[in-house]
Amino acid sequence: MKLSDFKALTFDVYGTLIDWESGMVTALQPLTDKVSRYLSRDDILEAHAYHESTSQRWTPAKKYSDLLGVVYRRLAEEWDVEVTWEECAAYGLSVRQWPAFDDSREALAYLKEHFRLVVLTNTDNLSFSGSNGRLGVHFDGVYTAEDVGSYKPADRNFEYMLETLTRNGIARHEILHTAESMFHDHAPANRHGLANCWIYRRHDKQGFGATMNPGDMPTVDFRFDSMADLVEAHKQELAAG
């Protein structure tokens, strides 16, 4: 199997292209500054992962920016901090400010010359539009949780993507699902028979950070520690003929 075998790269965005962990920690600072006990970065991220995935499971049709407001309130309750709903809602609107990884923009510009680029994201359309501006590329397809009415790792999101791409002339075997999250992306990619590429942004860290532990680790067809490494591997393939 080679990268050049594929026609389309389908991307998770947050954690893969956008540095959502840094974005979260920064946007949560008005809350975490009020917590009386010490919280490590991973303490914050792991608590966020639990409340985010729980809220997504219980309210799959809720828009992501609204759902993040609920997550903020659940975190405040867990950490025994009093907050207003206005503060919760402000956190929900922070997604558009979360930074891109340093290599994302340049890597996407290169990959756009060789692949169809598609987004399968757990955010809403307005939040993603802000992130898309930071990534600087026109995606050939954008499928949000708001469009689908559910959140990854639900099968529904992948079924929606596959059905839409099939209509656009891209078959399942021509898709390489490219993501960081084992929980949200690689486990369901395995279930749906999709080739997959792990962008292991947390390769130098312990644990799963802002994503839930997937349990049994999914299998992956490619693994790179960054988007820049993915691009370099593709260039080497082309040079080798």
Catalytic residue among 5, 12, 147, 204: 12
- How many C-beta neighbours within 10 Å does residue 241 have? 4
Q: 225 with 197: CB under 8 angstroms?
A: no
C-alpha triplet 166, 136, 231: angle, nearest 5° = 70
- How many C-beta neighbours within 10 Å does residue 190 have? 17
The conformational region for residue 239 under phi > 0 = left, psi -120 to 50 = alpha, else beta, is: alpha
221: annotated active-site residue? no
> Which two three-digit tokens encode residue 32?
């975490």
What's the rounded Cα separation, in Å, for the pair 66 and 238? 44
Residues annotated as catalytic (active site), given as ranges: 12
